Amino acid sequence: MENKNSKIDSRRKFLKNISSGGILAVAGLGLYSASSCKEKSEEKTTLLTTDGKLVQVSNSEIIKMEGMEHHPATPKEAREGIPGQKFVMVVDLAKCKNAKKCVESCDKHHNLTPDRPYIKVLEMKDNEKSAPYWMPKKCFHCDNPPCVKVCPVGATFKRTDGLVLIDNERCIGCRFCMAACPYSARVFNWGAPPNVDENLAYSPETSLPNKIGTVSKCDFCPDMLRKGKLPHCVPACPNGVIYFGNELDDTVTNGEETVRLSTLLKEKAGYRFMEELGTKPRVYYLPPVDRLFPFESDTKENVKS
């Protein structure tokens, strides 16, 4: 029978072996959230190996791997993306209560004003006989993005890791990309945002500082991804609506639960919004069946819930 020390050693070897590619191919693909990596040593995190096995590891045993340290991306790195990754998001509409915590977190970390959010929670109703439901919508980071094709200066670009970003140092504010986007996912920076840090160096990976007269949008928080953390909206959601991960590893997590991407989409009939357009979004939706919450109209009380 293995003793305690041998079990710890084996777990550490396991973590080291699967982290050789940079970001861990495990729960959250090494993308840690505040809810999944607390400092209490007695708490554990469920890790999913590439062969489909779940392993419980004490949070105190999870160590930062060599090469996981964050460094600001160079302009070249910002345009090329993170090697070995193909990021994907899944939104479970059955869990959404319109708490808007994802919106609040995104606005805070991207220094956005309430009138120009990157995330919108829409009230949807497919037909007059069906029930309404809430649908969080952001940029879909399409694999066939029309916004990239129409940009005359190369400010909008598609990366190898699946992300579509905007370089506001190149953006001339023509808004061709806004016209080309069928999802209305982009916003125009008409005025100065609040609390501008004059000493902050601009990066396409943070979209900060915001630049007047340019276009911006949801960026999947690539600066967080380089730190091995989830996008801000994922752990902010109190109901685990948003899953995020690496399609190449076939795993996604909402910070509490880690599942196989292919299994999740197949068993819950996942779909992509406006699939018929051929844009090939990297955001999937799970239908709003067996909902966790009754639908409530968008009142002030509900927004605060």
pLDDT at position 283 over 80: yes
Q: pLDDT for 64-95, tens place per residue? A: 443 444 566 777 788 999 999 999 999 999 99
Which residue has better confidence, 31 or 301?
31
CA proximity to 24, closest of 245, 282, 206? 245
Q: What pTM did the predictor assign?
A: 0.79
Residues 6+ apart with CB under 8 A from 17: none
Burial class (CB in 10 A: 0-12, 13-18, 19+), 234: buried
Residue 7: per-residue pLDDT: 46
| Residues 6 or more apart whose Cβ sits within 8 Å of residue 163 | 81, 87, 141, 219, 220, 222
Handedness of CA 205, 189, 155, 218 (dihedral sign): positive
Residue 174: which pLDDT band, with cuts at 50, 70 and 90?
A: very high
What is the tens place of the pLDDT at every residue in 232-273?
999 999 999 999 999 999 999 999 999 999 999 999 999 999
C-alpha to C-alpha distances, 135 to 12, 119, 220, 241, 251, nearest whole angstrom: 40, 10, 17, 10, 22
What is the Cα 123 distance to its own chain's centre? 21
Q: Tokens 């919450």 correspond to what residue?
A: 293
Distance between CA atoms of 32 and 35, rounded to whole angstroms? Answer: 8
Side-chain-side CA neighbours of 189 within 13 Å: the count stands at 22
20 vs 166: which has the higher pLDDT: 166
Rounded distance between C-alpha atoms, residue 80 and residue 91, angstroms:
26
Higher pLDDT pick, 193 / 89: 89
Mean pLDDT of 270-288: 97
Annotated domain spans of the chain: 4-61
The CA distance from 33 to 253, in Å, is 10
Read off the pLDDT of each residue in 162-175 and give the average, rounded to a whole number: 96
Q: Which class for 299: exposed (0-12), middle (13-18), buried (19 or more C-beta within 10 A)?
A: exposed
pLDDT at 30 over 60: no
Q: Record the tokens describing residue 40, joined without a space.
A: 């209490």
292 or 46: which carries more pLDDT confidence?
Answer: 292
